[in-house]
Structure 1
């Protein structure tokens, strides 16, 4: 079991304390493993595992506990039997109707430490804000980074050079379970395809009561094809009209939002770096795991420039940055990143194969006058840094401890 220290270092200060620890992220990204890692830390600190109460609400054995009343009654009974402080671990809590009321009541009435996971971004909106306002901390869990992938993949191919391992990562992405099937080609594709179907059916169609599944599938296919490209709901609606599917831009936006709520896609807004304002249209979208794209849509090698962007974007999120796309006149900076007042700029290219490409990628920074780090990241093996702008091979960039 990989330690996932990037997340544990953020969760650790809250272990044993009052706030409810909430872990969200796309289905099968490793949230359940995070609960096991927390249990492990608690055990190592001297807590008796007999004080743990764990329920995975996707397990049919617990179907009778999927209402707030039933769950509250069961946990209260088991806590009374255990005596003293209890540690509650609820996996995929969104399956429980009115779970917020139950969790808040347990927090108030029991001596307990609560950890929950969920596969929907709206887990922490609406009623939850009312019941638990200021009493929870959220941690978004992402599929494996390249560094985590290497850690699990290397035993499968101990003599393989890192360049070849990265090619594998380009195709298979970072879903944790793939290490169990040793990243074998057909089983990996089958698993990722089935995972996608599960996200689409359980977390998008069923949760949002979508009737026009064909329309949803067409919209998802369009967004997958265009990861990293700017487009508007209107342009997607026009595309669908050409496909004999008339649909309002508002419907398109709603369907994409449902996908974002399920953590299948991430929306990145565009920022006017001169006017310091967020632009209202033509956002970009990236997929939570590029391996899913390859299994469902294909073309990761063909669209490698977009996939490299996708990989870098997810790495920026993992490391705690908020990210926008920067516009300066007619130039665009792929990623403008902020973390606690510190900025970072990143341009991503496939290869700096010509002087024109080099001028375009480095020239995007021409009117940025601050002294924050600026990177151009590509597949090139040779360092082309210039004018204070750092060039890094993408593998090296992803494996760096700090970007300074």
Structure 2
């Protein structure tokens, strides 16, 4: 199958080529990391890099089942003499215990560009951070954004693309099933099961995967609402699967570490400090949420909020939830720009503002902000009543916002 381009991420790798840093690409399983390595290798070949100077290891292959760190190190040395410049590309590197020392040794002893991928948030912590001490750079990869989805599929009708995307999401193997809903659903289910079993349950040595699945379903069903550990504990107890609050917190962290969910912490709009507890959790892909819960027309508001949250993350923003005693702003999105200035967006999401009471409810939180602070946006599926209000709030259509580069 011909490789589909992922220019957002390939451009990052190309910009970092030869900079002496180890490139660590992390992200949810099947979001496109392996393809990214293939695209990079293809670019190297197209720019006259000798084939034997590109060393690729796909550690999920049966060829490397049971491989030790010493075996990996010896294999690399056999293929990489001291002379010349080399490219070492290792996919799902976390599958080999002790890989950090192998990578560091190769970096020290050879003239080599190293790119590794992994499906766990711990990839850049622990021993690797100690060994490399500032010599590694992280590239976080996400499922296809809506704009990427349109480019990837070639669908030009935004409404048609949105209807498919909001149901089945942007994981490339799912998108590759085209309009075949049965196949898309089957692939989604397989990806979810693999992440839950291999990247969460096995990693955490969980003996009760049904309780873990219940926690995932609860987080998906409450996306957009503050989550109480006590409520989850009570729900599991009523389902005759009693689980302690500490275990539930461990399950949630495992789901976050495997990139199946994202956490948006609450932040005081007045003082700016992070508020403990009652964070919001959003599935990393719309398809995962719908696979767990199903999708109905009444879900558009929640699904749109989830989508906007994930788009902001993919665009490099740090996202929190703004909170005062009486009001809440869906998202505070902050990002350091290339010129080192700080950009801040205050974002409200509502399926429609046609109802006067709804419009007032969505506008009210902006009045708690200091004058002139940040950009203020309401994102809606409405196609009328758009534009800048007298209070300086931009009301924008969701499909316009999702397909523009203005916020990136």
Fold equivalence (TM over 0.5)? yes
Is 200-209 or 300-309 further displaced after alignment? Answer: 300-309
Q: Which residue of 2 aligns with 1:193?
A: 189
Q: Which residue of 2 aligns with 1:38?
A: 40
Q: Which residue of 1 aligns with 2:241?
A: 245
Please give the per-residue CA displacement for 1:172-205, whole angstroms capped at 9, x wherever unaligned. 1001123432231100000000110010111011
Q: After superposition, where does 1:104-119 map in structure 2 within 5 Å?
A: 104-119=104-119
**Is 2:302 aligned against 1:306?**
yes
Query: 8 Å contact 2:259–2:284 — kept in the other structure?
Result: yes
* Residues in 2 aligned to 1:46 and 1:383: alpha-carbon distance in whole angstroms: 54
The alpha-carbon distance between structure 1 residues 359 and 370, as it changes in their structure 2 partners (threshold 3 A), is same
Query: 8 Å contact 1:269–1:325 — kept in the other structure?
Result: yes
Q: After superposition, where does 1:102-251 map in structure 2 within 5 Å?
A: 102-154=102-154, 161-251=157-247
Q: Which residue of 2 aligns with 1:262?
A: 258
**Is 2:312 aligned against 1:316?**
yes
Please give the per-residue CA displacement for 1:323-374, whole angstroms capped at 9, x wherever unaligned. 1000133111011011112111111111113100000111210121234211
Number of equivalent positions: 398
**Is 2:87 aligned against 1:87?**
yes
SS at match of 1:201: helix
SS at match of 2:4: coil
* Residues in 1 aligned to 2:4 and 2:327: alpha-carbon distance in whole angstroms: 41
Please give the per-residue CA displacement for 1:129-165, whole angstroms capped at 9, x wherever unaligned. 111220100011000011111112235xx6xx32122
* Residues in 2 aligned to 1:177 and 1:356: alpha-carbon distance in whole angstroms: 42
Query: 8 Å contact 1:377–1:392 — kept in the other structure?
Result: yes
Q: Which residue of 2 aligns with 1:16?
A: 18
SS at match of 1:197: helix
Q: Which residue of 2 aligns with 1:394?
A: 398
Q: Say what the alpha-carbon RMSD is for the aligned residues.
A: 1.6
Query: 8 Å contact 1:22–1:117 — kept in the other structure?
Result: yes
* Residues in 2 aligned to 1:377 and 1:86: alpha-carbon distance in whole angstroms: 47
Q: Which residue of 1 aligns with 2:384?
A: 382
1:300 deviation in Å?
Answer: 5.4
* Residues in 2 aligned to 1:316 and 1:179: alpha-carbon distance in whole angstroms: 21
Q: Which residue of 1 aligns with 2:325?
A: 329
SS at match of 1:395: helix
* Residues in 2 aligned to 1:76 and 1:175: alpha-carbon distance in whole angstroms: 35
SS at match of 1:181: coil
1:295 deviation in Å?
Answer: 2.2
The alpha-carbon distance between structure 1 residues 348 and 339, as it changes in their structure 2 partners (threshold 3 A), is same
The alpha-carbon distance between structure 1 residues 13 and 154, as it changes in their structure 2 partners (threshold 3 A), is closer
1:42 deviation in Å?
Answer: 2.5
After TM superposition, the score normalised by the length of structure 1 is 0.95
Please give the per-residue CA displacement for 1:282-307, whole angstroms capped at 9, x wherever unaligned. 00001111112212321354322111
Query: 8 Å contact 2:335–2:344 — kept in the other structure?
Result: yes
Q: Which residue of 2 aligns with 1:355?
A: 356
* Residues in 2 aligned to 1:162 and 1:46: alpha-carbon distance in whole angstroms: 39
Q: Which residue of 2 aligns with 1:5?
A: 7
Unaligned runs of 5+ in 1: none
SS at match of 1:398: helix
Query: 8 Å contact 2:220–2:292 — kept in the other structure?
Result: no
The alpha-carbon distance between structure 1 residues 167 and 32, as it changes in their structure 2 partners (threshold 3 A), is same
* Residues in 2 aligned to 1:254 and 1:183: alpha-carbon distance in whole angstroms: 37
